[in-house]
Homo-oligomer: A and B are copies of this chain.
Amino acid sequence: MSERFQFTVLKTDGEARVGEIRTRRGTIPTPAFMPVGSAGTVKAMTPDQLAAAGTDILLTNTYHLMLRPGAERIARLGGLHGFMRWQRPILTDSGGFQVMSLAKLRKITDLGVTFQSHIDGATHVLTPERAVEIQCLLGSDIHMQLDECIALPASRKELEGAVARSLAWAVRAKRALHVELEKGTARQATALFGIVQGGIDPELRARSAEALTAMDLPGYAVGGLAVGEPRDITLETFRLTARRLPADKPRYLMGVGTPIDLIESVARGADLFDCVMPTRSGRHGQAFTWAGKVNLRNARHAEDSGPLDPNGRCPAARDYSRAYLHHLVKAEEYLGAILLSWANVAFYQELMLAMRTAIAEGRFATWAAATKAKLVPSER
User: Could you tell me which A residues sit within 8 Å of B by CB distance?
Assistant: 39-41, 43-46, 48, 68-69, 73, 76-78, 82-85, 302-303, 305, 315, 319-321, 323-324, 326-328, 330-331, 333-335, 337-339
**Of A46, A326, A339, which is in contact with the most chain B CB atoms at under 10 Å from its CB?**
A46
- Tell whether, in the assembled complex, residue B334 and residue A68 are in contact, meaning their CB atoms are under 8 Å apart: no
- Tell whether, in the assembled complex, residue B327 and residue A46 are in contact, meaning their CB atoms are under 8 Å apart: no
Q: How far is the CB of A221 from chain B (nearest CB, A)?
A: 26
A324 to B85, CA, bound (A): 9
- Chain B residues with Cβ below 8 Å from A83 are 321, 323-324, 327
A302 to B76, CA, bound (A): 11
- Tell whether, in the assembled complex, residue A335 and residue B45 are in contact, meaning their CB atoms are under 8 Å apart: yes
**Closest B residue to A83 using CB positions:** B324
10 contacts between A and B (CB under 8 A): A41-B333, A44-B334, A46-B335, A68-B327, A69-B302, A69-B330, A73-B323, A82-B321, A85-B320, A334-B334
Select which of B68, B82, B84, B85 is within 8 A of A330 by beta carbon. B68
A328 to B41, CA, bound (A): 8
**Of A39, A43, A68, A335, which is in contact with the most chain B CB atoms at under 10 Å from its CB?**
A335
- Tell whether, in the assembled complex, residue A338 and residue B302 are in contact, meaning their CB atoms are under 8 Å apart: no
- Tell whether, in the assembled complex, residue A331 and residue B68 are in contact, meaning their CB atoms are under 8 Å apart: yes
The 4 closest A-B pairs by CB, nearest first: A44-B334, A41-B335, A69-B327, A39-B331
Select which of B73, B77, B338, B339 is within 8 A of A334 by beta carbon. B338
Q: How far is the CB of A48 from chain B (nearest CB, A)?
A: 8
A83 to B303, CA, bound (A): 11
**Of A77, A323, A330, A334, which is in contact with the most chain B CB atoms at under 10 Å from its CB?**
A334
Instruction: Identify 19 new A-B residue pairs, CB closer than 8 A, beyond the known A39-B327, A41-B335, A84-B324.
Output: A39-B331, A41-B331, A43-B335, A44-B334, A45-B335, A46-B338, A46-B339, A68-B327, A69-B323, A73-B302, A73-B303, A76-B303, A77-B305, A77-B323, A82-B321, A83-B321, A85-B319, A85-B324, A334-B334
Q: How far is the CB of A208 from chain B (nearest CB, A)?
A: 34
**Closest B residue to A42 using CB positions:** B335
- Chain B residues with Cβ below 8 Å from A43 are 333-335
Q: How far is the CB of A75 from chain B (nearest CB, A)?
A: 11
A333 to B68, CA, bound (A): 12
Q: How far is the CB of A37 from chain B (nearest CB, A)?
A: 10
**Closest B residue to A43 using CB positions:** B334
- Chain B residues with Cβ below 8 Å from A333 are 39, 41, 43
- Tell whether, in the assembled complex, residue B337 and residue A77 are in contact, meaning their CB atoms are under 8 Å apart: no
- Chain B residues with Cβ below 8 Å from A68 are 327, 330-331
Q: How far is the CB of A314 from chain B (nearest CB, A)?
A: 12
- Chain B residues with Cβ below 8 Å from A82 are 321
A73 to B45, CA, bound (A): 29
Q: How far is the CB of A115 from chain B (nearest CB, A)?
A: 19
Q: How far is the CB of A72 from chain B (nearest CB, A)?
A: 10
- Chain B residues with Cβ below 8 Å from A303 are 73, 76-77
- Chain B residues with Cβ below 8 Å from A334 are 41, 43-44, 334, 337-338
A77 to B319, CA, bound (A): 14
- Chain B residues with Cβ below 8 Å from A78 are 305
- Chain B residues with Cβ below 8 Å from A302 are 69, 73
Q: How far is the CB of A38 from chain B (nearest CB, A)?
A: 9
- Chain B residues with Cβ below 8 Å from A335 are 41, 43-46
A290 to B333, CA, bound (A): 29
